[in-house]
Chain A
Amino acid sequence: MKTWLLRIILMLQIFGLVSLYAYHLSVEKTGRTYLLKAEPVDPRDLLSGDYVALQYTISTLPDRFDISGFDIPTYVTLQPIGTLWEISDVNETPPNGDVPYLKGRASGRQISYGIERYYVPEGKGKQMPRDLYAEIVIQPGGTAQLKKLYSDGKPWPR
């Protein structure tokens, strides 16, 4: 009885991890992609290893918008400027219509979207190019997933 329960727990653990993997894989494969300008810094995570911490041009609230408070849910509508995407509008509610938007959390003039980390092989984060572009996928509801980084038109790190 006890052994069977432990095996059921094992199956649930495997199911949970595979489902999580499959969900994010489906988002990555099926979602529409957007290119953002990014700037890197270099820390390390105990469990997941080296990563590049990213700051986007859309991470700072433009002066024409005002959101006061800490950790406020924020919806940022995007507009294309050339090949890149920039902020078009900022609201505390999701926009209407078929426009691409990101869900973030604003603290002061900084907005975080949950795509501020890009994991790299050990030691690769030390030589970071300054011209980085991030390819992201946006899920319905505005949640973003970071897909790939590019530098000089090629995937980075090489």
Chain B
Amino acid sequence: MKLTQKSLKPHVNAWIEGNLITPEQGDGILAKYPTSSASPVTMTFSIIGGMLCILGVILLVSANWQSIPREAKLGTLLGLLTASTLLGTEGSRRKWNPAIPEISYLFAAVLPLVGLALVSQIFNLTGSGFALILTWFISILFLPFLSFSPSTFVVWMFSLSALVPLAITEYHWAWLTDEYQTISIMYALLGVVTAAASQLWSKAGRTMQRAWGESLGLIMTSLGLYTYDCTTYYPHSHFPIWEIAWGAVFVLNLGAVFVGYKAHRAPLVTLGFVMLGIIILSFYCRLAGSMLSTGMLFLSAGTLLIILIFTLHKLRKSILQ
């Protein structure tokens, strides 16, 4: 159970009465903990429910009911946006169940994109996807840092990472061999920057956002390097460097496990082990794929997967203990 001011208060009061600590020290201890906490199950299902509602709003908008006046459609959307932001701020201020401001801020982060899509639909605009996502990103630029909502930060990260492939493909920025390799490297760099910049959340005492930033950064860098040499066209002169790229992903995730172990960050250890398992299995399938018959490949890969899962799970458990 997560420690909160509510759950700690009786114990702190008992310590003060027993003259173990002074009232000032008691206040200092309580100040280090959040006032209340929603259970992870409540929070998870609330966010899933919120996401389903957002998808519902998107599908209602995309159904394009022409019997509804367009001003009414825009007004309803702006009303929803206003209500979600106000509910989020009031919920945080009045210390309601944390799931309520969380869902509200999730709506506040996604609805500007729905609004832009609605205006595009009303006036039949065929614009650039990059301009659409950039406008959305700018409109929610400060939202995660003012609301301190983890789900808003995740939405913010998704919009930022969507900008990379859109910018490269729309403006044809091919700094490397082609646009796809440029996207891979840009993702790998963005992942490193994200993981590093997420450490700043520690200063605000927001470990959830830091964990999300580290995890998304690790996934982005790993995926960027993993897909770097996965080009469908192989010219004769092409020097395959997938072994180096995949090796780099392996070392990177080994590093993530080590950092997670040292800094007591369980999500980083778990994610690092998952990535290590994927890389080991991928290496095996790519190397053995041309040597074995299909039946043997399935059999050996399945056995390897089972061994990997048990070994990595045991390792993870011993590290986290």
Interface residue ranges, A against B (CB under 8 Å) = 2-3, 5-7, 9-10, 12-14, 16-18, 20-21, 24-25, 28, 45-51, 70-71, 112, 114-122, 145-147
Q: Which of A12, A14, A114, A118 contacts B127 (CB 8 A)?
A: A114
CB of B125 closer than 8 Å to a CB of A: yes
Q: Is the CB of B61 within 8 A of A6?
A: no
Which residues of B sit under 8 angstroms from A12, Cβ to Cβ? Answer: 139
Q: Is the CB of A48 within 8 A of B121?
A: yes
Which residues of A sit under 8 angstroms from B93, Cβ to Cβ? Answer: 3
**Closest CB-CB distance, B225 to chain A, in whole Å?**
28
Q: Is the CB of A6 within 8 A of B85?
A: yes
23 contacts between A and B (CB under 8 A): A3-B93, A6-B89, A7-B85, A7-B86, A9-B143, A12-B139, A14-B82, A16-B112, A17-B74, A17-B115, A20-B119, A47-B62, A48-B62, A48-B121, A49-B63, A71-B172, A115-B124, A115-B126, A117-B125, A119-B64, A119-B121, A120-B64, A121-B63
Q: Which residue of B lies closest to A114 (CB)?
A: B126
Which residues of A sit under 8 angstroms from B122, Cβ to Cβ? Answer: 21, 24, 119
Q: Which of B62, B115, B118, B139 contacts A122 (CB 8 A)?
A: B62
Q: Is the CB of A145 within 8 A of B125?
A: yes
Q: Which residue of A lies closest to B135 (CB)?
A: A16
Most buried by B among A2, A10, A116, A118: A10
**Closest CB-CB distance, B301 to chain A, in whole Å?**
34
CB of B310 closer than 8 Å to a CB of A: no
Q: Compute how far the CA of A5 lies from the CA of B116 in the bound complex, rounded to whole angstroms.
A: 22
Which residues of A sit under 8 angstroms from B88, Cβ to Cβ? Answer: 6
CB of B120 closer than 8 Å to a CB of A: yes
Given contacts A49-B63, A121-B65, A146-B124, contact A13 B112 (CB under 8 A): yes
**Closest CB-CB distance, A114 to chain B, in whole Å?**
5
Interface of A (DSSP majority class)? mixed
Q: Compute how far the CA of A25 lies from the CA of B119 in the bound complex, rounded to whole angstroms.
A: 10
CB of B177 closer than 8 Å to a CB of A: no
Given contacts A17-B115, A116-B126, contact A2 B146 (CB under 8 A): yes
Which residues of B sit under 8 angstroms from A45, Cβ to Cβ? Answer: 62, 117
Q: Which residue of B lies closest to A2 (CB)?
A: B146
Which residues of A sit under 8 angstroms from B78, Cβ to Cβ? Answer: 14, 17-18
Among all A-B residue pairs, the 7 with the closest Cβ atoms = A49-B62, A47-B117, A146-B124, A48-B121, A24-B123, A10-B85, A119-B121
Which residues of B sit under 8 angstroms from A71, Cβ to Cβ? Answer: 172
Q: Is the CB of B142 within 8 A of A28?
A: no
CB of B269 closer than 8 Å to a CB of A: no
Query: 1/0 per residue B58-69: CB within 8 Å of A?
Result: 100111111000
Q: Compute how far the CA of A106 lies from the CA of B108 in the bound complex, rounded to whole angstroms.
A: 38
CB of B185 closer than 8 Å to a CB of A: no
Q: Which residue of A lies closest to B66 (CB)?
A: A121
Q: Which of B81, B120, B125 contacts A10 (CB 8 A)?
A: B81
Q: Which residue of B lies closest to A24 (CB)?
A: B123
Q: Is the CB of B124 within 8 A of A117?
A: yes
Q: Which residue of B lies closest to A70 (CB)?
A: B172
Q: Is the CB of B89 within 8 A of A48?
A: no
Query: 1/0 per residue B236-272: CB within 8 Å of A?
Result: 0000000000000000000000000000000000000
Which residues of B sit under 8 angstroms from A48, Cβ to Cβ? Answer: 61-62, 64, 117-118, 120-121
